């Protein structure tokens, strides 16, 4: 199991959000955002990605969910790394279920590379989730979605948000992923904000509304 931070650890939590950070960050990255959300009925698990060499950054070792070779639409992707991490996230979901939280009260969330893992894992998961939060991100291995998607999460609401001034993962890259997901039959809610590769106050307010909708107290 990955090292992680837990916010709202109390036993009476009735739902769980597993929230994955971006490349080179760690679980602490979204701790302040979770505190701002102020949702005491939800247990937030903020895992730390393992350290690995990242090709895009000249092989420098950093926390990463999988290797990244480039950020262009035609850049090769680390399929083996993505699938390996999918197994780990599935195990985290199973761990929450074993503690009495049904999969239908679990949301997978992530920012940037963490959001890519959330989208990839949720669309292939064999148990229905409450929702997916995909922030400033994209769907990896898009071409395999139709052959690998599982019907258990075809109706799961996906909340996707992006900054119009994002130069790390461009708006066009995110929009291409949005169109692939919609074409595959997913219920997707799209939000754009006047920001770069980051989060903003309005987005946090909107995330809170989404979480209250899919994980009511």
By annotation, the residues acting in catalysis are 112, 166, 197
* Cα(99)–Cα(185) distance, integer angstroms: 31
* Cα(43)–Cα(15) distance, integer angstroms: 6
* Cα(102)–Cα(115) distance, integer angstroms: 22
* Cα(130)–Cα(102) distance, integer angstroms: 9
**What DSSP line would sit under 21-61, residue for residue?**
--TT--GGGGHHHHHHH--TTEEEEEEPPPEEEEGGGTTEE
* Cα(193)–Cα(119) distance, integer angstroms: 20
Strands 15-20 and 188-193: unpaired
**Within its chain, how far is the Cα of 114 from the centroid?**
5
């Amino acid at each position: 199991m990955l090292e992680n931070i837990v916010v709202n650890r109390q036993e009476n939590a009735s739902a769980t959000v597993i929230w994955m950070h971006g490349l080179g960050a760690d679980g602490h990255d979204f701790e302040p955002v979770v505190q701002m959300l102020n949702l005491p009925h939800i247990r937030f698990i903020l895992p730390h990605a393992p350290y690995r060499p990242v090709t895009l950054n000249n092989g420098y070792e950093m926390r990463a969910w999988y290797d990244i070779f480039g950020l262009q639409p035609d850049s090769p992707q680390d399929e083996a790394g993505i699938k390996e991490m999918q197994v780990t996230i599935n195990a985290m979901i199973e761990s929450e279920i074993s503690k009495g939280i049904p999969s239908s009260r679990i949301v997978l969330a992530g920012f940037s590379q963490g959001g890519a893992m959330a989208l990839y894992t949720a669309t292939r998961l064999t148990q229905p989730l409450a929702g997916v939060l995909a922030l400033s991100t994209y769907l990896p291995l898009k071409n395999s979605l139709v052959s690998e998607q599982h019907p258990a999460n075809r109706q799961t609401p996906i909340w996707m948000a992006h900054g119009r001034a994002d130069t790390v993962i461009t708006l066009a890259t995110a929009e291409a992923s949005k169109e692939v997901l919609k074409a595959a039959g997913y219920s997707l809610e799209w939000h754009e904000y006047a920001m770069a590769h980051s989060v903003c106050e309005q987005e946090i307010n909107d995330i809170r509304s989404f979480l209250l909708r899919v994980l009511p107290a």
